[in-house]
Amino acid sequence: MKRENGIDYVELASRDPAASRAFFEQVFGWSFEDYGPDYTAFDDGRLQGGFFRGKPVTASAGAPLVVLYAEQLAPLLEQVLAHGGELIKPVFAFPGGRRFQFVEPGGNELAVWSQRDSD
């Protein structure tokens, strides 16, 4: 995979890095390493980054929107809601697929998309 000039690491503010960690471990299966109570680094298997203690700015307020991928949206949406995520935009179609947007317990707004027409 090309690394030069590509996004290599992403950091997100979180009101509660431990809550963000628990959410992404349980729902998405990411691995984490803590660096004190105010920072936790993640590895989603493809991209690495971290959550630092701070006030998140949502995509609705102009922050970049992180978009994740799932083969099937319905089972993942159930997991997001079961683990404390808040649905911001229900599943909707767009050219190329479908997606939904949510806020995780640490306050970050993200989206999940799929190329499938239905689940």
Total domains in the fold of the chain: 1
Q: Which residue has tokens 């030069």?
A: 4
Assigned token pair, 27: 């729902």
The CATH number assigned to the domain holding 72 equals: 3.10.180.10
For residues 52 and 88, what is the distance between their CA atoms, to the nearest angstrom?
23
Domain-located, residue 1 = no
Whether residue 87 is contained in a domain is answered as yes
Residue 29 lies in a domain: yes
Predicted TM-score (pTM) of this structure: 0.92
Nearest 5°: phi and psi at 32? -135, 155
Confirm whether 84 is domain-assigned. Answer: yes
DSSP letter for 96, please.
T
Q: pLDDT 10s digit of each residue in the chain, 119 long?
A: 667 888 899 999 999 999 999 999 999 999 999 999 999 999 999 999 999 999 999 888 889 999 999 999 999 999 999 999 999 999 999 999 999 999 999 999 999 999 977 66
Does residue 2 belong to any structural domain of this protein?
Answer: no
Query: Going by C-beta distance under 8 Å and a sequence separation of 6 or more, which residues neighbour residue 46?
Result: none
